[in-house]
Amino acid sequence: MDLRAELLKSIWYAFTALDVEKSGKVSKSQLKVLSHNLYTVLCIPHDPVALEEHFRDDDDGPVSSQGYMPYLNKYILDKVEEGAFIKENFDELCWTLTAKKNYKPDRNGNSVVSHQDAFKLWCLFNFLSEDKYPLVMVPDEVEYLLKKICTAMNVELNSCELEDCLSQEPQGQAGLTVWQFLDMVNSGRLLRGIEQEAVSMAVEEVYQEVIEDVLKQGYLWKRGQLRRNWSERWFMLKPSALSYYMSEERKEKKGSIALDKHCCVEVLPDRDGKRCMFCVKTSSRTYEMSASDTRQRQEWTLAIQTAIRLQAEGKKSLHKDLKQKRREQREQREQRKAAKEEETQRLKQLQEEKERKLQELELLKEAQRQAEILLQEEEQRRRQQHEEMQRTLEIQLQEAEQARASMQAEMVLKEAEAERQRKRILELEAMQERLQEALQLEVKARQDEEAVRYAQARLLAEEEEKLKQLMKLKEEQEEYIIKTQREKQVLKQEMENKEKCLEEAQKQLEEVRVNRQRVDQDVMAAQRKLRQASTNVKHWNVQMNRLMHPIGPGEKRPNVSGVFAGYQPLLSRRDSSLK
* ∠ Cα 366 371 377 (to 5°): 130
Assess if residue 43 is contained within a domain.
no
In this structure, of 196-200, 300-304, 526-530, 568-572, the range with the lowest mean pLDDT score is 568-572
185-219 burial, b at 16+ Cβ within 10 Å, e below that, comes to bbeeebbeebeeeebbebbebbbbbbbebbbbbee
DSSP string, 20-75: TT-SSEE-HHHHHHHHHHHHHHTT----HHHHHHHT---SS--EEHHHHHHHHHHH
Asked if 19 and 62 count as a contact pair (C-beta separation under 8 A), the reply is no
pLDDT digits (tens, 9 = 90+) for 129-185: 888 888 888 888 888 888 888 888 888 887 887 887 878 776 556 788 888 888 888
H or E, element range at 338: helix 318-546
Closest-CA residue to 38 (of 99, 83, 79, 82): 79
Alpha-carbon span 499 to 493, nearest angstrom? 10
Regarding pTM above 0.85, the answer is no
Question: CA-CA distance, 244 to 237, in Å (whole number)?
Answer: 9
Question: Concatenated DSSP letters for 486-533?
Answer: HHHHHHHHHHHHHHHHHHHHHHHHHHHHHHHHHHHHHHHHHHHHHHHH
Cβ(28)–Cβ(55) below 8 Å: yes
- Give the domain range for residue 241: 214-316
Environment class of 283 (CB within 10 Å of its CB; exposed 0-12, middle 13-18, buried 19+): exposed
Contact indicator for 149, 130 with CB cutoff of 8 Å: no
In this structure, the number of other CB atoms found within 10 A of the CB of residue 385 comes to 12
For 74-96, what is each residue's pLDDT tens digit?
888 888 888 788 888 888 989 99
247 found inside a domain:
yes
State the distance between the two ends of the chain, measured CA to CA, in whole angstroms. Answer: 126
**Residue at 492 is within a domain:** no
pLDDT band at residue 248 using 50, 70 and 90 as cut-offs: confident
Band (58; pLDDT cuts 50, 70, 90): low
Three-state DSSP class for residue 283: coil
pLDDT at 576: 46
Q: How many domains does the chain have?
A: 1
CA gap 272, 126 in Å, rounded: 48
Q: What confidence category does residue 233 fall into, taking pLDDT thresholds of 50, 70 and 90? A: very high
Task: Give the C-alpha separation, 550 to 569, whole Å.
Answer: 28
What is the average per-residue pLDDT within 174-197?
A: 82
Q: What is the mean pLDDT of residues 360-389?
A: 91
pLDDT range class, residue 571, cuts 50, 70, 90: very low
Cis geometry, peptide bond prior to residue 134 (ω within 30 degrees of 0): yes
* Residue 452: CA count within 13 A, CB half-sphere: 5
Looking at the predicted structure, is the pLDDT value of residue 509 above 60? yes
- What is the average pLDDT across 58-66? 59
Can you name the residues that pair with 279 across neighbouring β-strands? 266, 288
Asked, for residue 304, whether it belongs to a domain, the answer is yes
What per-residue confidence (pLDDT) applies to 13?
87
Mark 107-127 as b/e (b = at least 16 C-beta within 10 Å).
Answer: eeeebbbbeebbbbbbbbbbb
3-state secondary structure 253-281: EEEEEECCCCCEEEEECCECCECCEEEEE
Is 239 contained in some domain? yes
CA 479 – CA 486 distance, rounded (Å): 11
With a cut of 80, say whether residue 401 has pLDDT above it: yes
Task: Please report which confidence band the pLDDT of residue 483 belongs to, taking 50, 70 and 90 as the band edges.
Answer: confident
H/E stretch holding 554: none
Mean pLDDT of all residues in 6-15: 87
H, E, C per residue of 105-143: CCCCCCCCCCHHHHHHHHHHHHHHCCCCCCCCECHHHHH
Q: How far is CA 343 from CA 236, 349, 352, 356, in A?
A: 51, 10, 14, 20
H/E segment holding residue 226: none
Average of per-residue pLDDT across 518-542: 80
**Percentage of residues of the chain with pLDDT beyond 90:** 18
**pLDDT for residue 544 is more than 70:** yes
Q: How far apart are CA 68 and CA 77, in angstroms?
A: 12
Q: Of 66, 37, 65, nearest to 51 (Cα)? A: 37
| 3-class secondary-structure state, position 230 | strand
Residues 6+ apart with CB under 8 A from 549: none
Separation of alpha carbons 306 and 318, rounded Å = 8
Q: Is residue 283 part of a domain?
A: yes
Find the radius of gyration of the CA atoms of the chain: 62
pLDDT value, residue 572: 45
**Of 162-176, 262-276, 454-468, which has the strongest mean pLDDT?**
262-276
Q: CB–CB of 207/124 below 8 Å?
A: yes
Residue 513 lies in a domain: no
Q: Cα separations (Å) of 496 from 248, 320, 482, 486, 500?
A: 104, 78, 21, 15, 6
Long-range contacts of 287-295 (CB under 8 A, 24+ apart): 287/222, 287/223, 287/257, 288/222, 288/223, 289/220, 289/221, 289/222, 289/223, 289/235, 290/220, 290/221, 290/222, 290/223, 290/230, 291/220, 291/221, 292/219
Any domain includes 6: no
What distance in Å separates the CA atoms of residue 492 and residue 429, rounded to the nearest whole number?
57
Cα–Cα distance for residue pair 354/289, rounded to 1 Å? 73
For range 483-503, the mean pLDDT: 84
d(CA 30, CA 50): 16
Work out the mean pLDDT of the chain and round it to a whole number: 83
155 exposure class (CB count in 10 Å sphere: 0-12, 13-18, 19+): middle
The CATH number given to whatever domain includes residue 303 is 2.30.29.30
